[in-house]
Structure 1
Amino acid sequence: MSRRTVSVVVLAVLLVLLFWQLPEVPLLVFAAALIGVFLYSGSSLLRRVAPVPHAVGVLVFILLLLLAAAAFAFLAAEPLAEQFNELWQQVPQALGSLTERLSRYSWGQEILRRFQPQNLSLPAGTGTSTAFTAINTTFGILGNAVLVLFLGVYFAVDPGLYRRGIELMVAPSLRPKAHNVAVEAAHTLRGWLGAQLISMTAVGLLTALGLWIIGIPLALVLGVIAGLLAFIPTIGPVMSAVPGLLVGLSEGLSGVLLVAGVYLVVQTVESYLLTPYVQRRSVDLPQAVTIIALVGFGLLYGFLGMMLATPLAAVLLMLVNRLYVDDYLERETAEEWRLPVSKS
């Protein structure tokens, strides 16, 4: 067995063991790579205007992001906080109204019975451990977020260092190919991220505008929720529509229908007009592959897997095309595919 074959096998085995024993680690590293690609892209745009070193450009871009966040907090934090507080108060009232309406029907009573607390409660004696688990999970999420942010900054400041580390894992004859694949993976993530940011912004603005036009209160905060959850394709829009429909319930059946119509129109525009256009210019990811990736990574890795399913699918599809289809299947010779003539 040649050294290049051994290096590929060793790298594959290490990746399989890592995903098997520590599945969150590669996902967190991938999330950090996304942040690194975002910061690197922002620095590249900034350096077109101001010829500064790359590391300085990354730090300046981070500073500009912090200043933009501070300005947004100064201008919009108060009205958003008020609307979030009002939404927090209205949702329980809307749920109570929905419960009262469902209780009028036998099928509604059955649904309410299945969702009663005693039917959803945990086994006795697990309340305290559940509380500790929730606390530990919260601190774990915050710690992971800080880790991902710092890793993303490191990746953005000196991406060549980490790319060369990946290249050293394979034999010298494969390093040019590994370099090209790493560069194309970064290009794929950059294209997907740009398309996703455009889609999220459009969904948030269109949702807020549509709800405001039909006179639904809290349109701004509902638009923000819709824009943020648009990061998760297919499932995110369904999740974002729930608070909007509950708020529309206060306006009666007509309000619910109008709110549902707004979300349906926005998602139709995003799914069939905007997203195909921006992704055709960046990443060509079939819708069926997106859904399969959401289900698969969601079942394997939970909510984090769902959040990262689409960019992971885009990179994996690129790797399959380059390393399997182009480098193996397309190199089939005439002697290999020519069928032997059977002798009767």
Structure 2
Amino acid sequence: MTRSHTSLLVLFGAAGLLLLLAPDVFLIVFAGVLLAVFLHSGGAWIGARLGIRPAFGVGLFLALIVLALLGFGAAVAPAAIAEVEELARRLPEALTDLHDRIESYSIGAMVLERVTPDSLAGGAGGAAAMSAVSSTFGVLGNFVVVLFIGLYGAIDPGLYRRGLERLLEPALRSRGGRVLRAVGAALRNWLIAQLAAMAVVGGLTGLGLWLAGIPLAFALGLVAGLLAFIPNIGPVLAIAPALLLALPQGRTAVLVVLAVYLGVQALESYVVTPLLQQEKVSLAPALVIAAQLLAGVWFGLLGLALATPLTAALMTLVRVAYVENTLEDGAGGTSPGAAS
């Protein structure tokens, strides 16, 4: 076995071992890398236009994000807070109404008798509550880790890229750097497509609900746009509060909410996302669905949320490192045209 093969075996073996033994760590680090790609892309764009170093561009990009969030909050915070508070106030009423409707049926009454707060509070329910509390603190801690990985990676990505390159045999380092840059470009293109799709989902959902006269349209559209980051499960989670709010208004309101969400979801799934993904990232839809299914089963919700960018990175790695640099180069070197 050559030194090149040994270095590749050690590098991919370590990554595979980390994924096998500590998948949560692997996914959190990858989420931080995604954030780093986003911040560095914005900083590099600003730096190129202002003639400043990319690191200073990242700082300016962060400042612009903070200012935009503050300005957006100052402009819409009163209305948004009022809508969110009204949403929080109406949801219990909607749940009570749903409880009454279920209880009006004999089968529903039997189910409600078996599923009581007392039965959920003891035993496994108490353990589930403690798990929910601990997972909340875990989420906050993971967010901080992702944030710092993103910041450090965005400020000086070359430091980490050179560190990875040094794990390779010297003859492979130039090719390794080219592969890493290609993977970074694929993740950047995926982020652009994903953010655009989320904006479309949030805007169209809020607009459709507002035109239909559904209350709290802004808050519901915001929730739908944010949850669009999570494929498959996100739209289901987003439609639940809207249906609960529409339920007391009658069957017509429920059908309108279903029509809006299903229409927006169909437009996003079959028009917006395929066009954006085809333009920005070359990913086969069936491959994406299979990757989401596997990642969701193996790694849970975080794996499902990161399945598509992971697939984009992996396919770029295979294409650049294996297909182009190994198969096609080897074929080109042995072809009759090359020999003549």
Give the TM-score normalised by the residue count of structure 1. Answer: 0.89
Which of residues 248, 252, 255 is equivalent to 1:254?
252
Q: Counterparts of 1:226 and 1:87 in 2: how far apart (Å)?
A: 14
CA-based RMSD of the aligned residues comes to: 2.4
> How far has the Cα of 1:138 moved from its partner?
2.2
> Would the alpha carbon gap of residues 266 and 130 (structure 1) be closer, same or farther in structure 2, given more than 3 Å must change?
closer
Tell me the CA shift for residue 114 of structure 1.
6.6
Q: Establish whether residue 315 from structure 1 lines up as the match of residue 313 from structure 2.
A: yes
**Where does residue 215 of structure 2 map in the other structure?**
217
Which digits, 9 at most, give the CA deviation of each residue in 1:70-120, with x for residues without a partner?
111211122211111111121121122222222333454465467544665
Aligned CA distance change for structure 1 residues 111 and 226 (closer, same or farther; 3 Å): farther
Q: 1:25 matched to which residue of 2?
A: 25
Show CA shifts across 1:114-154 (max 9, x none). Answer: 75446656636x73x65554443222221221121111111
Which residue of 2 is the match for residue 12 of structure 1? 12
Q: Displacement of 1:324 after TM fit?
A: 4.0
Q: Check whether the contact 2:182–2:320 (CA below 8 A) recurs between aligned residues.
A: no
Task: Give the structure 2 partner of residue 243 of structure 1.
Answer: 241
**Who is 1:169 aligned against?**
167
Distance 1:243 1:197 in 2: 23
Of residues 255-264 and 175-184 in structure 1, the stretch that sits farther from structure 2 once superposed is: 175-184
**Aligned mate of 1:234, from 232, 235, 260:** 232
Deviation string, structure 1 residues 216-266 (Cα, Å, up to 9, x no partner): 000000000000001112221121111111111121010000000011111
- Cα-to-partner distance string for 1:171-218 (whole Å, 9 max, x where unaligned): 112212211110011000000000011110111111000000010000
The amino acid across from 1:262 in the alignment is: V
Residues of 1 paired with 2:114 and 2:319: CA distance? 47
1:249-295: CA deviation from partner (whole Å, max 9, x where unpaired): 12101000000001111112212221122112101222322222222
Q: Deviations over 1:38-79 (max 9, x none)?
A: 111111221243111111110011011111111112111222
Q: How far did 1:10 drift?
A: 1.0
Return 5+ residue gaps in structure 1 as ranges: 335-344
Alignment of 1:26-65 (within 5 A): 26-65=26-65
Q: Please list, as runs of the form range in 1=range in 2, the aligned pairs for 1:1-344 lying within 5 A after superposition.
A: 1-109=1-109, 112=112, 115-117=115-117, 123=123, 127=126, 131-328=129-326
- Helix, strand or coil at the partner of 1:233: coil
CA distance in 2, matches of 1:44, 1:217: 42
Contact in 1 for aligned 2:47/2:56 (Cα 8 Å): no
CA distance in 2, matches of 1:20, 1:272: 34
Question: Taking every aligned residue pair, what percent have the same amino acid on both sides?
Answer: 45
Q: In structure 1, how many angstroms separate the alpha carbons of the residues matched to 2:201 and 2:81? A: 21
8 Å contact kept, 1:234–1:291: no
Q: Secondary structure at the match of 1:43?
A: helix
Taking the aligned partners of 1:78 and 1:266, their CA distance within structure 2 comes to 27
Shift in alpha-carbon separation, 1:218–1:43, aligned structure 2, 3 A: same
TM-score of the superposed pair, with normalisation by structure 2: 0.90
Query: Which consecutive unaligned segments of at least 5 residues does structure 2 have?
Result: 333-340
